[in-house]
Amino acid sequence: MEIGATKAVQDRLKTTKIEESKGASLVFCWDTHLTKIKGRNVLFIVNASNRYTIAMTDIEPRNWNYYAMYISRVIHGVMQEMGYSEEQIAQYFKMSGDMIVTKTHGKKSVGGINRMVTDAQYFDKKLEKDTKYQWELSEYLNRDICQPEGFDAYGYPSELFKLDMERLGIIPKRKPAKVIDFTRYIDTN
């Protein structure tokens, strides 16, 4: 798994040497960006394939020392919240490989982060105090229709994340919707 770090995150990590992306599948790449929203530091964790976004606040200094491990715990926790079983989460992390911090994963991915930051500025509720995972902000950001790097169609990031899990075989594919042929019911006289 690759954790892409923007310049703001690299500055916070106090790192000068960071690896280029190794070309892993985008579903296993998460780009991170640190910004101020409503006077609080917010860390955005955005999947490079489907633009699924996790918003975190009040990150403790010790978590910056173990950044990759912290991000993996956050992703694990959010996947649990989404209803994935421990076996499915373990399968995702096993398929993703070793965790490394890299540079971000391309212009489209960084553009998606910038869009999320802009959208977050318009979030009309206060950020929750005494909580790290900003659930309402994350839900708000994941309701933005987009066409991220890993897809050729538009959709909601939360739905696209599920599609990625189906593509990986982590969850079973959903049955296609039943299409009604209305021409049978139309009188053509």
Q: For residue 57, what pLDDT is reported?
A: 92
Q: For residue 188, what pLDDT is reported?
A: 63
148/109 Cα distance (integer angstroms): 7
157/86 Cα distance (integer angstroms): 22
Which residue matches tokens 């708000």? 140
Helix (H, G, I), strand (E, B) or coil at 40: strand
131/44 Cα distance (integer angstroms): 15
Give the Cβ contact number of residue 29 at 10 Å: 26
Tens digits of pLDDT across the chain (189 residues): 999 999 999 999 988 778 888 878 899 999 999 999 988 899 999 999 999 999 999 888 888 989 999 999 999 999 999 999 999 999 999 999 999 999 999 898 899 899 999 999 999 888 888 888 999 999 999 999 998 888 888 999 999 999 999 999 988 887 766 767 777 777 765
CA 83 and chain centroid, separation: 16
28/5 Cα distance (integer angstroms): 14
Q: For residue 24, what pLDDT is reported?
A: 84
12/180 Cα distance (integer angstroms): 55
Instruction: Decide: 97 and 82 in contact? Cβ < 8 Å.
Output: no
Those residues whose C-beta lies under 8 Å from the C-beta of residue 6, and which sit 6 or more positions away, are 31, 32, 33, 34, 104, 110, 113
* Neighbour-count burial for 42-53, b at 16+ CB within 10 Å, e otherwise: bbbbbbbbbbbb
Eight-state DSSP code of residue 133: B
Helix (H, G, I), strand (E, B) or coil at 101: strand
